[in-house]
Chains A and B, each alone.
Chain A
Amino acid sequence: MSVASSENIVVRSLSQIGDCGLFLLRMLAAIPRSMRHYRETIRQLWFVGAMSLIIIMVCGLFVGMVLGLQLYDVLSIFGGTSATGTVVAIAIYRELGPVVTALLFAGRAGTSVTAEIGLMRATDQIAAMEMMAVDPIAYVAVPRFLAGVIAMPLLTCVFCALGIFGGHLVGVTWLGIDNGTFWSNMTATVEVVKDVVNGVIWKSMVFGIVVSLIAVFQGYTTPPTSEGVAYATTRTVVASSIAILALDFVLTAFLM
């Protein structure tokens, strides 16, 4: 668990990844034990999921709107504005929905999870739990991890739906693409498995696991100082963002 003392950055980051993987195994092993605390999982789902809805919805709406605007502008060069709906839907389902939701989730929920657990660590609450024979992994870490894993696909779906709505708002209501054309072109091209399942579901599940793991792990291994908490929070965002974008490429290559 301890931060590797070596100055070598390669060794340090490798040991971080190794610690992170071991931590994931410990959490997975603790899932049956944490079922007693299922109410805590629901409470965390409320905090990381339901409370993130507003930012996800607003951002989804604006992403869809700006996509509609940009695509209409470009497609009108080719006289293909009727394809706006299709391209908005495909872009959102395959890339923007999962990725932007995951980035927002890392910033909105991941940081608060890290800071909360880090502060618990800094104020010795976690040590106190261990003293009281309450497993902190099962009571603190797992509920937050599970809540993140469950919340991410749901948030992504909401984001995508609002994105489509935003594209429709700009394309049809504002720029005057025919409503029927917008939807029929979309439904003619977008596929359930290729776009919705591969794009929205699989990607967001993987991102949910990765972002939650990083957030909980960073919080749990925070050095018990105020700088430590600040540093861990920053690292959650940085590591999550890199992991999301790198994994997005890998997943796209596999799911294509």
Chain B
Amino acid sequence: MSQRQSYAVGTGLFIVLGFAALGYLATQTTSVANSSRGPSYTVEAHFANIGQLKERAPVKVAGVRIGQVQSIVLDPGKETADVKLAIDKRYDQIPDDSIATIFTSGLLGDQYVGVRYGTSKKTLADGGELALTRPAQQLEEMLGKFFGAGGVADNLGGSYVVKARFTNVGALSVGAPVKMAGVAIGSVQSINADPVKLDALVTLAIDKRYNQIPDDSAAAVFTSGLIGTQYVAIQPGGSPDALKNGDEMVLTQSAMQIEDLIGKFLVSGSSSGKPADGGKTDGGKH
């Protein structure tokens, strides 16, 4: 009888353990864990752009989760998003001039609302509003700034137009930055094929501040990194005269095709006979 009892107890323990594990899996490792626990109060924040923010995304202070996004709706009649944040009652000491920002965890991570404390003595109450907000940083904008596409904004101060002819512009696109010494000084305004000369006519809008570029400077189509976007690099020459509006740059270097480069690499890396042939056919394709 006692043996039978020990079976029963052990089996009972086993069943309890199994269900405890199930409960743990279902509540602690799934999205259920993100639903709010305990009492919370609601705070509003208006953002110009919420990016990829989703409902139930975490709200963090100093990286610590203090609540979650309850709802996201468009403000009626305005081009802003009304985001309601459910914040745990425990954290009721948030100054009412705190700044809410939409951050991204990592480069590819999910977005969350980060709150940076202000200095006000007054604290947020239920139904309060975080008046100071910063919208989500769009990755494209950040990359644009990083790669110097901000030259577009510089053009507001006025720019002058310079032409350059290339036999091949590669994947250069309108709006691509024009850089000198790696600094963006303008952008590509237009790219057209010349019906007579059968090459590409590229017009570059260069910021007026940079009006001392020698007129024998060379323009080259470069690629940022191995697979990055292409841009026009200007290599200053030695002429005393500066480029003026409407001038044409004579010295140009066309885009390097990665296929050509690899072709050259293969040619130089092996014996002279056959590969040269292969290189020619390769070049002919492009």
User: Which A residues are closer than 8 A to B by beta carbons?
Assistant: 39, 42-43, 45-46, 49-50, 53, 79-80, 82, 89, 93, 150-151, 153-155, 157-158, 160-161, 164, 180-181, 183-192, 195-196, 200-201
Cβ-neighbour of A190 out of B29, B107, B108 (below 8 A): B29
A187 and B107 CA atoms in complex are apart in Å by 19
A164-B29, A187-B34 known; A158-B21 Cβ under 8 A: yes
Cβ-neighbour of B25 out of A42, A45, A150, A196 (below 8 A): A196
Q: Please name all residues of chain B whose beta carbon is closer than 8 Å to the beta carbon of A45 when the two chains form the complex.
A: 11, 14-15
User: Which B residues are closer than 8 A to A by beta carbons?
Assistant: 4, 7-8, 10-11, 13-15, 17-19, 21-22, 24-26, 28-34, 58, 63, 65, 105-110
Known: A49-B15, A53-B14. 5 other contacts (CB 8 A): A42-B7, A45-B14, A79-B107, A187-B32, A188-B34
Least Cβ distance of B179 to chain A in Å?
27
Least Cβ distance of B217 to chain A in Å?
38
A153-B18, A157-B25, A181-B105 known; A192-B10 Cβ under 8 A: no
Interface centre among B22, B63, B65 (most CB of A within 10 A): B22
Q: Chain B binding site: helix, strand, loop or mixed by DSSP? A: helix
Q: Please name all residues of chain B whose beta carbon is closer than 8 Å to the beta carbon of A183 when the two chains form the complex.
A: 29, 33
Least Cβ distance of A133 to chain B in Å?
24
Q: Please name all residues of chain B whose beta carbon is closer than 8 Å to the beta carbon of A50 when the two chains form the complex.
A: 10-11, 13-14
Q: Please name all residues of chain A whose beta carbon is closer than 8 Å to the beta carbon of B34 when the two chains form the complex.
A: 184, 187-188
Q: Please name all residues of chain B whose beta carbon is closer than 8 Å to the beta carbon of A80 when the two chains form the complex.
A: 106, 108
A158 contacts B17, C-beta separation under 8 Å: yes
A169 and B86 CA atoms in complex are apart in Å by 32
Q: Please name all residues of chain B whose beta carbon is closer than 8 Å to the beta carbon of A53 when the two chains form the complex.
A: 14, 17
A154 contacts B4, C-beta separation under 8 Å: no
A89-B29, A157-B25, A200-B22 known; A188-B110 Cβ under 8 A: yes
Q: Please name all residues of chain A whose beta carbon is closer than 8 Å to the beta carbon of B15 when the two chains form the complex.
A: 45, 49, 150, 154
Cβ-neighbour of A160 out of B7, B25, B107 (below 8 A): B25
Least Cβ distance of B105 to chain A in Å?
7
A192 contacts B30, C-beta separation under 8 Å: yes
Cβ-neighbour of A39 out of B4, B14, B65 (below 8 A): B4
Least Cβ distance of A3 to chain B in Å?
35
A150 and B15 CA atoms in complex are apart in Å by 9
A184-B65, A188-B110, A192-B30 known; A46-B19 Cβ under 8 A: no
Q: Please name all residues of chain A whose beta carbon is closer than 8 Å to the beta carbon of B30 when the two chains form the complex.
A: 187, 190-192, 195-196
Q: Which residue of A has the minimal Cβ distance to B13?
A: A50
A161 contacts B106, C-beta separation under 8 Å: no
A157 contacts B18, C-beta separation under 8 Å: yes
A185 and B28 CA atoms in complex are apart in Å by 12
Q: Which residue of B has the minimal Cβ distance to A152?
A: B18
A-B contact pairs, 16 of them (CB 8 A): A39-B4, A45-B11, A45-B14, A46-B14, A49-B15, A50-B11, A79-B108, A151-B14, A154-B17, A157-B18, A161-B21, A185-B109, A187-B34, A188-B34, A189-B31, A196-B30
B63 contacts A187, C-beta separation under 8 Å: no
A155 contacts B18, C-beta separation under 8 Å: yes
B31 contacts A191, C-beta separation under 8 Å: yes
B21 contacts A82, C-beta separation under 8 Å: no
A43-B7, A46-B7, A161-B24 known; A184-B58 Cβ under 8 A: yes
A43 and B14 CA atoms in complex are apart in Å by 12
Q: Please name all residues of chain B whose beta carbon is closer than 8 Å to the beta carbon of A39 when the two chains form the complex.
A: 4, 8
A187 contacts B29, C-beta separation under 8 Å: yes
Least Cβ distance of B260 to chain A in Å?
28
Q: Which residue of B has the minimal Cβ distance to A186?
A: B29
B25 contacts A187, C-beta separation under 8 Å: no
Q: Which residue of B has the minimal Cβ distance to A153?
A: B18
Q: Please name all residues of chain A whose beta carbon is closer than 8 Å to the beta carbon of B22 when the two chains form the complex.
A: 153-154, 157, 196, 200-201
Q: Please name all residues of chain B whose beta carbon is closer than 8 Å to the beta carbon of A184 when the two chains form the complex.
A: 34, 58, 65
A39-B4, A157-B22 known; A192-B32 Cβ under 8 A: yes
Q: Which residue of A has the minimal Cβ distance to B22?
A: A157
A42 and B15 CA atoms in complex are apart in Å by 11
Q: Which residue of A has the minimal Cβ distance to B109?
A: A82
A46 contacts B11, C-beta separation under 8 Å: yes
A46 contacts B10, C-beta separation under 8 Å: yes
A79 and B106 CA atoms in complex are apart in Å by 9
Least Cβ distance of A67 to chain B in Å?
14
Least Cβ distance of B214 to chain A in Å?
42
B32 contacts A154, C-beta separation under 8 Å: no
Q: Which residue of A has the minimal Cβ distance to B35?
A: A187
Q: Which 6 A-B pairs have the closest CB atoms?
A: A154-B18, A50-B14, A157-B21, A161-B21, A157-B22, A187-B33
